[in-house]
Structure 1
Amino acid sequence: MSAADSTLDGAPEQQTGNPKWRWAKRILTLCLFILVPVLLFMLIKNLDWQEVRSALLSYKASTLLLALGICALSYLAYCCFDLIGRHYTRHKLPALQTLPVTFVCYAFNLNLSSWVGGIALRYRLYSRLGLDVPTITKILSISLITNWLGYMLLAGAVFALGFVKLPGSWEVGSTGLRIIGVGLLLAASTYLLACQFSRRRTWHFRQVELTLPSLRMAVIQACLGALNWSLMAALIYVLLPSEAFYPSILGILLISSIAGVVTHIPAGLGVLEAVFIALLQHQMPQSTILAALIGYRAIYFLLPLALACIVYLILEKRARHLRK
C-alpha cells in the first residue's frame, strides 16, 4: 500500500486524526477556493488582451517558437528544484508525481503571488499525495534556497561587473549596486562553504529539522537556480531588438524581480515594465520595450497558467480518486 493510499485526505494518518490539522486543512482549502478566482479575475481585468494579441502578432513565428522553447526549458529547470527536495528528504513520491505539482505551483506563484502558488498550493497538493508537513516544509525550503542562491550568484556577478547602468536619479547609484553585487557573492559563497566545512549541520525550527546539504547538492542548487533566472532573461532578450545586451537585460530582470517582491503585486504587474523602461528607454523606443514585455508575460506567465489550471484540476481529481 502506498503512502497516498494509507490516508483519508492525502495526509498521514496521525495528522488526519488531529482536529487542529483537519480544521487547518479545511480553512486552507476554503481560502484557496476564494482567493485563487479573485486573484485570477484581478489579473485578467488588468490586462489589455488587444495589446497582448498585437504584440505577439508583431513577431516572426521562428522568434515565438524560440521563446516557447526557452520558456519550456526554464519551467523544466524550476521543476527540478523539487526533485532536489525529493532527494534531500528521501520521500517516496515518483518524479512523475513531483514534476506536475511543481509546475502548477510555479505557474500560480508567478501570476498570483508566492503565498498562493509557492506555499499554499504546495502544502495542499503534497499533503493530498501523502507527504507530512515537516517533509513539505523541507521541500519548500530547499526550493527557496535553490532559487535565491542562483539569484545571488547571478545578480552578484552582473552587479559587481557593472553591466547595469542606473540613472543618476536613483539613490543606490552604480557604485552602490556594485557593492551590493559583492555582498550577494559573499552571501552565496558563505552558503557553499558552510555546506562543505560547517561542523554543525542540523538546526531545529519548531518541529522541522533542517540539515545542510552536501557541497555537491549545493552546487547543483546554484547551477539550477542560476539557469532558471538566465533562461527567463533570455526569453525577454530574444523578444527585444538585436542591439539589446544580454547581461544588461539579465541585470534589469534581477532588479525588477526584487522590486516585484517588495511591492507584493501579483505577477509584478507594472513593476517589471517600469524598471525596464526606466533603464532601457535611452537605448530603444518605449513601444518596443513594452511589446517585448507583453510577449514575455503572455508566453512565460499566461500560457503556463492556463495549462497549470488544467493540470491542477487533474491533480485534484486524482487525489479524490485516491481517497475513495
Structure 2
Amino acid sequence: MLSDAPPVPTSPLRASLTAAWPYIRRWAVPVLGVVILGLLLSRAHQIDWAGAWAALKRQPLQALLAAWLLATLSHALYGCFDLIGRGHVRHRVARWRSWAIAVSSYAFNLNLGSLVGGVALRARLYARAGLDEASVAQVVGISLATNWLGYGLLAGGLFASGVISLPPQAWLPGWTLRAVGVLMLLLAVGYVVACTKWHGQEWRVRGRRLQLPSPGRALAQLAFSTANWALMGAVMYLLLGERLPYGTTLAVLMAASIVGVFTPIPAGLGVLEAVYLTLLSGRLGQGTVMGAVLAYRALYYLLPLLGGVALYLLLERYAASHPEAAVPAAADRPR
C-alpha cells in the first residue's frame, strides 16, 4: 500500500559519514598497519638482537637444510592449489604453467602483499596465457578458499584443543580462543557439506557465474591446504630446535598468520616476530625465538622469492615466444 507520508529526512551528520565512508574504508586499514608497525618498531630496542644472532650461528647445518627442503616442498604444494582451480573452472592453460603461476605469485604474495602477488601478478600471467578475467577470478577465489579452509580446519582443531592460550595483556576471556577454534572447524565442515548439498547449483554474483566445487574437490582443497600449513609448522619446529611440541609450534604460527592478515604490512614484517616473542619468549628466551624467526624469514620468504622471480621471468619469456599458446585457454563450465 502506498503512503503519502513524507520521507524521513537524513541528518547532515549521517549524510556526511555515508559520503566519507569509501575514503575511510580505503585509508583506515593502511593507517592501522602503520600504527601497529610503529608500535613494533618502538619496541625493537628491547629485543635481544645479540642473542638472536648467536642463536642463528648455533643453528646446525643439517637443520637448516631440512628446513629449507620443507619450505621448498611447501611452496611446491601451494602450486597445486591452482591445479584444483583449473579442474573446477576447466580452463585449458597447461598444468605446468598453472602450477608455475601459482608458485611464483605465492612468493611475491608473501614478500610484497596479496594485492601484488596474489592478485595482480596472477592476473597478468594468466592473461598472458589467454585466460579471461572471469576465469582468473574463479581460479584465484578457489586458491584463496583452499588456503584458508585448510587453515580453519587445522588452526580450529589446535585452538579448540587449548594447545595455546591468549596472553594476559589480551584482556579477553580464556575461552575466546577455544570458541574461535570451534567456529573455524564448523566453517570448514560446513563448506564440505555445502559443496555436497548444492554442487551443480549456479548463482550470479555481480554478473559473474558462481558454482561450488564437487565434494571430492572440496576434500582435496582441505587435504592440500592442511598439508601445506603442516609443512610450514614443521619448518619452524626444526628451527626452534624441536624444543617445543610440534602442535604448540604450529598453533603459534597459525596465530601469527591470522594477525598478519589483519595487519596490512608487506611480509607481515614485525608481526610474526611480535607474536612469537609474546607467546614463546618466556619459555625459550628472546634470542632463541628471534633467531628461529629470522631463519624462517630467510628460508620461507626470501629464498623462495628468488625462485619466484626466476619463474616469473621464464613465464614471461614463454608467453612472448609462444603467443599461440594463449589462444585455447578459454574456460568451460565449472563442474
TM-score, length-scaled by structure 2: 0.78
Asked if the contact 2:51–2:286 (Cα under 8 Å) also holds between the matched residues in 1, the reply is: no
Q: What's 2:241 paired with? A: 241
- Which entry has the higher C-alpha Rg, 1 or 2? 2
Q: What's 2:271 paired with? A: 271
| Offset of residue 204 of structure 1 | 1.4
| Distance in 2 of aligned mates of 1:253 and 1:118 | 20
The one-letter amino acid of 1:90's match is: R
Matched, 1:134 2:134: yes
Q: What's 1:291 paired with? A: 291
| Offset of residue 53 of structure 1 | 8.3
Q: What's 1:58 paired with? A: 58
| Distance in 2 of aligned mates of 1:146 and 1:127 | 22
Name stretches of at least 5 consecutive residues in structure 1 with no aligned partner: 1-45
| Distance in 1 of aligned mates of 2:82 and 2:201 | 21
- Rate the CA distance shift 1:310–1:124 in 2: closer, same or farther, 3 A: same
1:61-210 equivalences in 2 (<5 Å)? 61-198=61-198, 201-210=201-210
Asked if the contact 2:277–2:289 (Cα under 8 Å) also holds between the matched residues in 1, the reply is: yes
Asked if the contact 1:195–1:218 (Cα under 8 Å) also holds between the matched residues in 2, the reply is: yes
Task: Name the SS of the counterpart of 1:65 in structure 2.
Answer: helix
Q: What's 1:213 paired with? A: 213
- Rate the CA distance shift 1:56–1:187 in 2: closer, same or farther, 3 A: same
| Offset of residue 285 of structure 1 | 1.0
Task: Name the SS of the counterpart of 2:204 in structure 1.
Answer: strand
Per-residue CA deviation, residues 205-224 of structure 1 (Å, 9 max, x unaligned), is 22421111111110110111
The one-letter amino acid of 2:133's match is: V
After the TM superposition, which of the residue ranges 205-214 and 165-174 deviates more from structure 2?
165-174
Q: Which has the higher contact order (CA 8 A, sep 6+)?
A: 2
Name stretches of at least 5 consecutive residues in structure 2 with no aligned partner: 1-40, 42-49, 325-335
Asked if the contact 1:71–1:232 (Cα under 8 Å) also holds between the matched residues in 2, the reply is: yes
| Distance in 2 of aligned mates of 1:305 and 1:124 | 18
Task: Name the SS of the counterpart of 2:181 in structure 1.
Answer: helix
Task: Name the SS of the counterpart of 2:169 in structure 1.
Answer: coil
Q: What's 2:21 paired with? A: none
- Rate the CA distance shift 1:107–1:51 in 2: closer, same or farther, 3 A: farther
| Offset of residue 199 of structure 1 | 7.0
Q: What RMSD, in angstroms, separates the aligned Cα atoms of the two structures? A: 2.0
Task: Name the SS of the counterpart of 2:171 in structure 1.
Answer: coil
Count matched residues. Answer: 276
Task: Name the SS of the counterpart of 1:169 in structure 2.
Answer: helix
Asked if the contact 1:52–1:298 (Cα under 8 Å) also holds between the matched residues in 2, the reply is: no
- Rate the CA distance shift 1:256–1:236 in 2: closer, same or farther, 3 A: same
- Rate the CA distance shift 1:266–1:199 in 2: closer, same or farther, 3 A: closer
After the TM superposition, which of the residue ranges 219-228 and 312-321 deviates more from structure 2?
312-321
Asked if the contact 1:55–1:294 (Cα under 8 Å) also holds between the matched residues in 2, the reply is: no
| Distance in 2 of aligned mates of 1:119 and 1:60 | 37
After the TM superposition, which of the residue ranges 113-122 and 65-74 deviates more from structure 2?
65-74
Asked if the contact 1:70–1:234 (Cα under 8 Å) also holds between the matched residues in 2, the reply is: yes
Asked if the contact 1:52–1:295 (Cα under 8 Å) also holds between the matched residues in 2, the reply is: no
- Rate the CA distance shift 1:193–1:144 in 2: closer, same or farther, 3 A: same
| Distance in 1 of aligned mates of 2:252 and 2:189 | 23
Q: What's 1:255 paired with? A: 255
| Distance in 1 of aligned mates of 2:298 and 2:56 | 8
| Offset of residue 281 of structure 1 | 1.4
| Offset of residue 242 of structure 1 | 3.0
- Rate the CA distance shift 1:186–1:125 in 2: closer, same or farther, 3 A: same
- Rate the CA distance shift 1:147–1:318 in 2: closer, same or farther, 3 A: same
- Rate the CA distance shift 1:211–1:316 in 2: closer, same or farther, 3 A: same
Asked if the contact 1:105–1:117 (Cα under 8 Å) also holds between the matched residues in 2, the reply is: yes
Per-residue CA deviation, residues 216-240 of structure 1 (Å, 9 max, x unaligned), is 1101101111111111111011000
The one-letter amino acid of 1:236's match is: M
| Offset of residue 79 of structure 1 | 0.5
| Distance in 1 of aligned mates of 2:190 and 2:129 | 35
| Distance in 2 of aligned mates of 1:176 and 1:300 | 30
Per-residue CA deviation, residues 267-290 of structure 1 (Å, 9 max, x unaligned), is 001000000000001211110001
